[in-house]
Structure formats: C-alpha cells, structure tokens
Amino acid sequence: MSARDVIANLRELAALTSTADGAQRLAWGPVWREARQWFNGKLATLDLRPEIDAAGNSWATLPGASGRTVIIGSHLDSVPNGGWLDGALGMMAGFEALRMFKDRRPPVTIKVVDWADEEGARFGRSLLGSSAASGSLTIGEVEHLVDKTGTRLVDALRENGVELPRMHEAQTFLQAIEAKAYLELHIEQGPVLEAMNQPTGVVLGTFGVERHLLRFTGQAAHSGSTPIPMRRDAFLAAAESALAFRQIGIAHTTPDARVVCTVGTVKVEPGIVTAVPGVCEISLDQRALDAQVLAKMLDAAREAAANAARHNNVSVEWKRLWQIEPRPFDPGLIELCTQAVREVTGDAPQLPSGPLHDAAEMVPHMPVVMMFAYSSNGLSHCKEEDTPEPHLEKTITAFLKLVEKTVAGI
Ligand SMILES: [Zn+2]
C-alpha cells in the first residue's frame, strides 16, 4: 500500500478539476461529471465498473470470499472554490484500499461509494445522496429546490440520470448490502488536531445540534430621558444571555466531552443610537456528542435566558430553527481506528466532528467510524485547505491499516 500513490492521485484530480481559485466539482455539473469519469478510469485499471443507485451514488465493488461488506465512503463533489482534500481524500484512499486487495481476494467484500451531492453547495441540501440511501430524505422537502441560476434540482438530477421522485429507492440498494462496517477518511476542517500537533485523529461521532432563535421584547424608549432602572432593554437581556451561554458551554466541557455554544447573529430594534433597544433577536447554536448533555445545555440556556429577561424586565420567546440528534460512532470500530492511528503516529487523539458527514447517515444502519487528517490553520471549503504532506502520508497509511484491520475483523 502506498500513501504516496494516494497523494499523486489527489494532485492529478486537483489539476483536472480546479482553477486558480480552487476545486470546482459542484455536484451535478460538468466538472463533477468529469471527476467521476476520471475516477471510473482509475477503477477500470482494477477491472472494476461502478454501479449507480437511484440517488446517483456511485458504488465500486471488490467481491470477497464472503458477502459481508466493508463500505468505504466519501464524495467527489466540492463547494465552488473548494479545497483539494475535502471529499477527494476519502475517495482516493478508498481507491487505494481496493487496489491493495485486488491481487489477494479479501475475506469480505469491499465497496467504495462516492456519495452524490454531499456538499449541498448548489441546491442547499447537504448529504443528499447518502440521506436518500439511508431513508432520512423526504422528497417533498427538496423537490422545490432551485440553484442560483434558476435550474431546478429535479432537472439537474435528470441531466445526470437521476429521477427525483425515485431517489429514495437507493434505500433498497443499501439494504441489499450485508454491511458490517462503514469507514470514512476526511480532512478535519477545524483547528483541533493542529492545536495538538497531531497528524491524525479518531472521530467519536458527529455532534447533535440544537439551533434556536431567541426574541427578547422590552420597550423602545428615548435614551436621554429614560433612567436606567426604568428601562426595558431587550439588547441587555440578549447580551446577558449570550455571556451565560458561553459559560454553559465551558461548564459542560470535559476532556471527554467537547461541546460548543454559539451566538452567531444579533438583530437590534429600532437600531438607533439614541434609543433603548425595544427588541433584540439572537441565535443560539448548541452542539454536543452526548444527547443528554445537549438536553441539559438547552435547559440551562432556557433558564439563563429567562433570568436575563427577568433582570431586564423584558420577555423572551424561543423558536427552534433546526435540530439533529448526535450520531455517536461504533465503539468496536473506534477501538480499531485508535489502534491503527497509534501504530502509525504514536498517539491517537479522539475528537467529535462538528460538521456533518455522510458517515452520520450510515450510523442507524451499520457500525461506523471516521478518521480525520490535520487541517492546516483549520481551514476548509477554500483553496487554502491543506494537510502538510508528511501528516497526510501518515494519515493515509493509518486509514489503510484501519481498512486491513476491519476487513480481518468483521
Ligand atoms: Zn467533505
């Protein structure tokens, strides 16, 4: 097995599908199709031809002695002006895994899947292909989607041989696989491994998310004539809440459980320098890997916002914007992954994934684990995205070891 070959393939794909601004493999478009064709050419060198399921996911299969199957998944699509590793790293490592077993029939079947439209960068729905396969996609939620140029999703799909009303039939394809493990290698897209100076990390699962909009309502009043104790200042209630939310995040963080709480937007009305704010809206995004911790953080945030509202004599209303359950990965595969990483890098830091990945969609269906590669400056979804080559080599080597261990172990 050769990490160098993987890196050479990554560079070849980048040269073929990037401009000076970065990778341009927008899902369902011509450059993405070109990337898939190029990948199919690579598969052809192993005498493999991929099958496409009803959602446009592309599956390459190396049959083994048994139908029990290890799935290696990732995505060839990118955001516009994307990085060279996001998605592509996992696909090239998957190809190398097939190559590694080509001449020695594996004891179990190995499938490499290129999930269609992981990024959702064109139509706004991430994990489109994998959610169709997992059964979590509601067709009604996506049938109206249109891209910036006015192209409808249904037409973009048809151009690629996918019928939107039948996408959920990809479930049948997935269910027919005797899947015993799902492995995904991805760039971290954050600064945690860099801060630890570790090339490779073991991913414990994807965060659950609670995302809310809080609206504080007081009374707008003249700032010159209203004494402070008589004010009903909605902004101050929101500001007190925001500070409390940060404390809630810190209080629920342990060495084993990293959590985050973020106030990302603030809107003040009337927004006049000489008026006490009568209305203030803030967002709250809370994430944790443990569902109970996430629920506790949300309770604590509700209490803190209610207290802040009371101090400032204002009211507060909550509106949930979005929610997703945490998706913890499989303990057995986490252990194999830890061994593989430790054997190559000497240490195996464990971390949760903030971003969602296709792997999260597979959690209800089979044991899953992911491995992360170091992200330089924590950057991703931009042309600066990078992993220093020595770190990349180690990570790929560790991932191929994980594949070997999984193939031998399931
Ligand atoms: Zn990705």
Per-domain residue ranges of the chain: 3-206+326-409, 208-324
Distance 408 CA to ligand 1 centre (A): 27
Q: Number of helices and strands (H, E) in the chain? A: 13, 18
Residues 199-237 as b/e (b if ≥16 CB within 10 A, e otherwise) read bbbbbbbbbbbbbbebbbbbbbbeeeebeeeebbbbbbb
**Residue 32, Cβ neighbours under 10 Å: how many?**
22
Report the SS3 class of residue 16.
helix
Distance 269 CA to ligand 1 centre (A): 38
Distance 88 CA to ligand 1 centre (A): 8
Report the SS3 class of residue 90.
helix
Residue 166: predicted pLDDT: 97
Distance 86 CA to ligand 1 centre (A): 5
Distance 365 CA to ligand 1 centre (A): 20
Distance 63 CA to ligand 1 centre (A): 27
Distance 75 CA to ligand 1 centre (A): 7
Q: Which CATH number fits domain 208-324: 3.30.70.360, 1.10.1050.10, 3.40.50.170, 2.120.10.30?
A: 3.30.70.360
CB 368 within 8 A of CB 73: no
Name the residues around ion ligand 1, CB cutoff 5 A.
Answer: 86-87
Distance 261 CA to ligand 1 centre (A): 23
Distance 48 CA to ligand 1 centre (A): 24
Residue 38: predicted pLDDT: 98
Distance 270 CA to ligand 1 centre (A): 41
Distance between CA atoms of 316 and 244, rounded to whole angstroms? 15
Distance 357 CA to ligand 1 centre (A): 7
Distance 378 CA to ligand 1 centre (A): 14
Distance 119 CA to ligand 1 centre (A): 7
Q: Which two tokens stand for residue 294?
A: 């996430």
Distance 76 CA to ligand 1 centre (A): 9
Distance between CA atoms of 86 and 78, rounded to whole angstroms? 7
Closest CA to 277 of 225, 210, 222: 222
Distance 77 CA to ligand 1 centre (A): 8
Residue 276: predicted pLDDT: 97
Per-residue pLDDT of the chain (410 residues; tens, 9 = 90+): 589 999 999 999 999 999 999 999 999 999 999 999 999 999 999 999 999 999 999 999 999 999 999 999 999 999 999 999 999 999 999 999 999 999 889 999 999 999 999 999 999 999 999 999 999 999 998 999 999 999 999 999 999 999 999 999 999 999 999 999 999 999 999 999 999 999 999 999 999 999 999 999 999 999 999 999 999 999 999 999 999 999 999 999 987 778 999 999 999 999 999 999 999 999 999 999 999 999 999 999 999 999 999 999 999 999 998 888 999 999 999 999 999 999 999 999 999 998 889 999 999 999 999 999 999 999 999 999 999 999 999 999 999 999 999 999 98
According to CATH, the superfamily of the domain at 3-206+326-409 is Zn peptidases (3.40.630.10)
**Residue 195, Cβ neighbours under 10 Å: how many?**
9
Distance 372 CA to ligand 1 centre (A): 11
Distance between CA atoms of 181 and 113, rounded to whole angstroms? 13
Residue 230: predicted pLDDT: 95
CB 135 within 8 A of CB 169: no
Distance 102 CA to ligand 1 centre (A): 26
CA distances from 355 to 148, 232, 362 (A): 24, 38, 15
Distance 187 CA to ligand 1 centre (A): 8
Say whether the peptide bond before residue 277 is cis (omega within 30 degrees of 0).
no
Distance 227 CA to ligand 1 centre (A): 53
Distance 118 CA to ligand 1 centre (A): 7
Distance 122 CA to ligand 1 centre (A): 14
